[in-house]
Structure 1
Amino acid sequence: MNSSASLQNSLPDDIALKIALSLQVSDVCSLGSCSRFWRELCGSDHVWEALYRDRWPAIDLDEESSADENGNHHLHQQLDLNLMGWRGLYVHKHNEMARKAASIFNYVESYLAFEAIEVGYYLKAVEDLSAMQFGFKDVQMFFLRPNINVLFNLIGLHYCFSKLDLPAECVAEALSMCRISERQVCVRWWKLGRWFYGFRLSDESLCRNVTLGDLATSKEEEVLRVLHRGAIHEVLRVQISAAKPECTPW
């Protein structure tokens, strides 16, 4: 008998379950491939219910269904749970959120002009994330990845602040863990020219390269205000793109 099998046989079931419950989804799947024992444990409803509730805490499947629209939706969730189990329900929900994320990607890409997006379309993407009820872990999984356009990182970051009301420290830590804190975006905006002795000066064009980490820690408050407000009042237009060499920090 090898050492891993010996350890497995000597490990109490409750301790093994605690180990599985402490892991993230990818780690649970990896552990489940180690042996038949771990495959059965890591595929159990105990583990996948915890993973589901951790990722989507706002969804409560234990509440009694009602006759209204929300109640009908809840009843469908209960039927899905009975048919698929917690693991199947998790996979189903994950695929649903993946499709929604893909629709946001397609929407943003359809409005990119010369690799930049106008702030109105950008803010619409943030609002769509809210309407689709993305949770923080969904945002981390789909929008805070280093191998996608930095504009999607920014949309996810903005959503965490404006819709999820997450503490800056929490968001900054997520950016660091995802290794995107140093990724940069360029925000360019045009302001109405000021009045000077009865004459209106030329409109101003302002440009700033900023890192996602600085935005998360509110070191770039002016840029954050521009992104939150969009083209309104004295700001005539706002464009966002990946960082540009000619757009230098102030």
Structure 2
Amino acid sequence: MDPSMSTGASIPDDIALKLASSLHVADICSLGSCSRFWWELCRSDFLWKSLCRKRWPALALEIESLSYDNHNHEEWKVFYIRKHNEMARKAGGVIDFVNRCLAFESIEVGHYLKAIRDLDSMLLGFEDVHTFFLKSKHNVLVNLIGLHYCLIWLGLPGECVMEILNNSNISQRQVSVQWWKLGRWFFGFRLRDELITRTISLEDLATGKEEEVLGVLHRGAVHEVIRVQISAAKPACTSWSFQNAQDANQ
């Protein structure tokens, strides 16, 4: 028996394809270097088309239209790589926009919602959001935009997103949301506008503990809410520690 074929010779092709389809792309590429059997399977047209459908369900029509063309085995893989690079470039543009808005440490809700609408227009899938937005290297507001998009636009259950937040070590990151509500009318006089400030973690939003805040972020400045600002939460002990340090030096 050819030793290069022995690794997968005893596995039916449909089982092997199902196994490979459950892996991440990087793992599939590694698996393809194990033997001739896995090399052939991991470059198959069927596998990469399946990966495209799974990652970009919103692009199903585009993917199906390509099915009528004459593709060799590598072309679906090329399509996947091209689409990944395209999404990476577009996601990078959104992240740059958010970082520019954060020059003054907070972002207005209009800019925040624009970033989310941009993700929607790009037809990003969950894996794209995970890959480009839910990473610890980014500002927590970039994480928040990715989380908001997953919960509202993609309609994903919170427990599904929580797994990614935990794996990326960002679930306990906190944001501060401030919104101003028009003052109520009282006997012909309008009371002062009310400022509401809430500090919440990404986990709070994903698990539904802060539905009111998520609603404010999703609606933006409408009706009685006249302004919404979002910023990264600052450690509560910062000012206290600074004051103690001054006292100790006196």
Q: TM-score range by the shorter chain?
A: 0.7 to 0.9
Q: How many residues align?
A: 234
Q: 1:169-222 CA distances to partner (integer Å, 9 max, x unpaired)? A: 333333334332212111111222334444433322221111111111221122
Q: Tell me how far apart the structure 1 counterparts of residues 97 and 8 of structure 2 sit (CA, whole Å).
A: 52
Aligned partners of 1:187 and 1:239 also within 8 Å = yes
- Match of residue 158 from structure 1: 148
Q: Tell me how far apart the structure 2 counterparts of residues 198 and 185 of structure 1 sit (CA, whole Å).
A: 37
Tell me by how many angstroms 1:81 deviates: 5.0
Which runs of 5 or more residues in structure 1 are unaligned? 64-73
Q: Tell me how far apart the structure 1 counterparts of residues 230 and 77 of structure 2 sit (CA, whole Å).
A: 39
Matched, 1:208 2:198: yes
| Equivalent of 1:134 in 118, 124, 128 | 124
Tell me by how many angstroms 1:233 deviates: 2.2
Aligned residue identity for 1:21: S
Aligned residue identity for 2:135: R
Q: Tell me how far apart the structure 2 counterparts of residues 124 and 176 of structure 1 sit (CA, whole Å).
A: 27
Aligned residue identity for 1:8: T
Q: Tell me how far apart the structure 1 counterparts of residues 30 and 170 of structure 2 sit (CA, whole Å).
A: 25
Tell me by how many angstroms 1:79 deviates: 6.0
Matched residues, percent identical?
Answer: 60
- Match of residue 125 from structure 1: 115
- Match of residue 19 from structure 1: 19
Which runs of 5 or more residues in structure 2 are unaligned? 238-250
Q: What SS is found at the alignment partner of 1:140?
A: helix
Aligned partners of 2:140 and 2:174 also within 8 Å = yes
Q: Tell me how far apart the structure 1 counterparts of residues 10 and 198 of structure 2 sit (CA, whole Å).
A: 57
- Match of residue 182 from structure 2: 192
Residues 114 and 80 of structure 1: is their aligned pair in 2 closer, same or farther, counting only changes over 3 Å? farther
Aligned partners of 1:115 and 1:241 also within 8 Å = yes
Q: 1:52-93 CA distances to partner (integer Å, 9 max, x unpaired)? A: 121122324575xxxxxxxxxx46x86695695111110011
Q: What SS is found at the alignment partner of 1:241?
A: strand
Greater mean deviation of Cα atoms: 99-108 or 193-202: 193-202
Residues 45 and 83 of structure 1: is their aligned pair in 2 closer, same or farther, counting only changes over 3 Å? closer
- Match of residue 29 from structure 1: 29
* Superposition TM-score, scaled by structure 2 size: 0.80
Q: Tell me how far apart the structure 1 counterparts of residues 63 and 131 of structure 2 sit (CA, whole Å).
A: 26
Q: What SS is found at the alignment partner of 1:112?
A: helix
Aligned partners of 2:133 and 2:146 also within 8 Å = yes
* Superposition TM-score, scaled by structure 1 size: 0.80
Greater mean deviation of Cα atoms: 231-240 or 159-168: 159-168
What value does the CA root-mean-square deviation take over the aligned residues? 2.9
